[in-house]
A = this chain, B = another copy of it.
Amino acid sequence: MHAATKIVIITERSILDDVADLLEAHGATGYTYTSAGGKGSRGKRRIDRVPQVAGILENVKIEAIVPDHDVAERITEAVVEAYFDNYSGITYVEPVEILRPAKFRV
């Protein structure tokens, strides 16, 4: 298998489309998101534990895989710069292994 990097961004649902556009602008060929809840400890950008109505959670966990670690790092920096002054969120990367790197390249 081939080493690659997964970018994870957990933030407010309202900016899902913007983050998706940012990912694609940096060369990610796709992304996955799941609905998420949780709590952070970052002053006014706190993610509050939200009441659940029919399973709807107010945050999203967005994931994308890119073949190059440098690209992943640049995306995390771009997300922090573009959104995390005004929206709650965290971002990090994880090592993964993939079968076909070509699927993840533009």
Contact = CB atoms under 8 A, between A and B. Distances in A.
A80 interface: yes
Which among A30, A73, A95 has the highest number of chain B CB atoms within 10 Å? A30
Contacts of A39: 20, 30-31
Interface in A35-56: 35-42, 47, 49, 54-56
Counting contact residues on chain A (CB < 8 A from B), the size range is 35 or more
Contact of A30 (B32, B40, B54, B92): B40
Contacts of A94: 6, 94-97
Contact of A55 (B56, B93, B95): B56
Nearest to A49: B20
A59 to B, nearest CB: 7
B56 A54 contact: yes
Interface of A: 1, 4, 6, 8, 10, 20, 29-42, 47, 49, 54-57, 59, 61, 65, 73, 76-77, 80, 90-99, 103, 106
